[in-house]
Amino acid sequence: MKKLLLTLTAICCIFIIMPSKTYAFDITVGATTWYAWWDIDQGKDAADIAPAFLFGPALAMKFTDEFNLTFVYLYGKYDYKGNEYHSGIYKENIKTKRSDSDLALNYRLHDYIKVFAGLKYMAYTKDKKTGAEPTTAQPYPEQYSIRSEHFGLGPGIGVSSTIPLSIVDNMFLLATLSSFYTWGNEEVSPSYEQSHKIDLNEYGFNTNLSVAYYISSISTVVSLGGRFQYFITAYDEYIYVKHMFYGITLTATYTFSL
């Protein structure tokens, strides 16, 4: 799956840097970051997860006045502790590396509204080390580790809007709403038994709202706002895990023509 993500990134980059003798393309390159909280609901007490930064590239290529291709990739790390009950209270130390990517073809309906469709990719690698608290009866409790590699890939659709703000020149309100449905699997590798794979589906939505300012002298857009993402991981008809990410976004992009 990592090879597929790299391939999609390479294709996007090739399109972006490939010159054309017939048409002038507007190319946008930049970086984005998301300071996000993560809430998990899996039918028991939720883990106490501190917010973390996700960051990555933001790329776009404008083919015509109506069509443009966009690509955003975010990566971040969450380290947190959780509790699990099994023959006593176990203390879990969990390290998670998360990826979140969107590749979309956008179509401008009119000056203020675009619709888009594309691919959604989400993945994480989770390393969990667990050890029971020592007791008089069990001074040296059992410890174990579990590694989970999880991914999902599928279609996404949405709508976005860019509205000029009359109070300040070159300032805009940006809003996006999208939904997605992915297929994937999770490979679980416990230290005490052989690894196994579980098929899964994920479905949910994203929404973004931000204020952007265009610095015309350097052809750069800086935006600050918020993003909310909610999705459900369905392992089978009985096991569901609900995820909620929310936080502050900051993006800076530079546009030039080929």
Residue 155 to residue 164: CA distance in whole angstroms: 30
Average pLDDT over residues 170-191: 94
pLDDT at 15 over 80: no
Select from 84, 63, 28, 82 the least CA-distant residue to 221: 28
Select from 165, 164, 157 the least CA-distant residue to 182: 157
pLDDT at 84 over 60: no
- Spatial contact of 45 and 85, defined as CB atoms under 8 Å apart: no
Q: How many domains are there within the chain?
A: 1
φ/ψ of 13, rounded to 5, equals -65, -40
Which CATH number fits the domain that encloses residue 230? Answer: 2.40.128.100
Q: Mean pLDDT check: name the lowest of 74-88, 120-134, 196-210.
A: 74-88
Residue 97 to residue 107: CA distance in whole angstroms: 33
| Buried/exposed code over 61-87 (b: 16+ C-beta within 10 A; e: otherwise) | bbeeeeebbbbbbbebebebebeeeee
Residue 170, both tokens: 């070159």
Count of H-run helices and E-run strands, the chain: 1, 10
Residue 255 to residue 60: CA distance in whole angstroms: 9
Please give the distance of CA 195 from its chain centroid, rounded to a whole number. 26
pLDDT, position 150: 94
Residue 16, both tokens: 């972006």
- Spatial contact of 158 and 179, defined as CB atoms under 8 Å apart: yes
Q: Which amino acid is at 83?
A: N
Residue 26 to residue 103: CA distance in whole angstroms: 17
Q: Write out the residue range of the structural domain in which residue 50 sits.
A: 2-257
pLDDT, position 93: 80
Please give the distance of CA 48 from its chain centroid, rounded to a whole number. 20
pLDDT, position 258: 80
Residue 154 to residue 232: CA distance in whole angstroms: 14
pLDDT tens digits, one per residue of 108-145: 998 899 999 999 999 999 988 776 554 555 544 566 78
Residue 105 to residue 61: CA distance in whole angstroms: 10
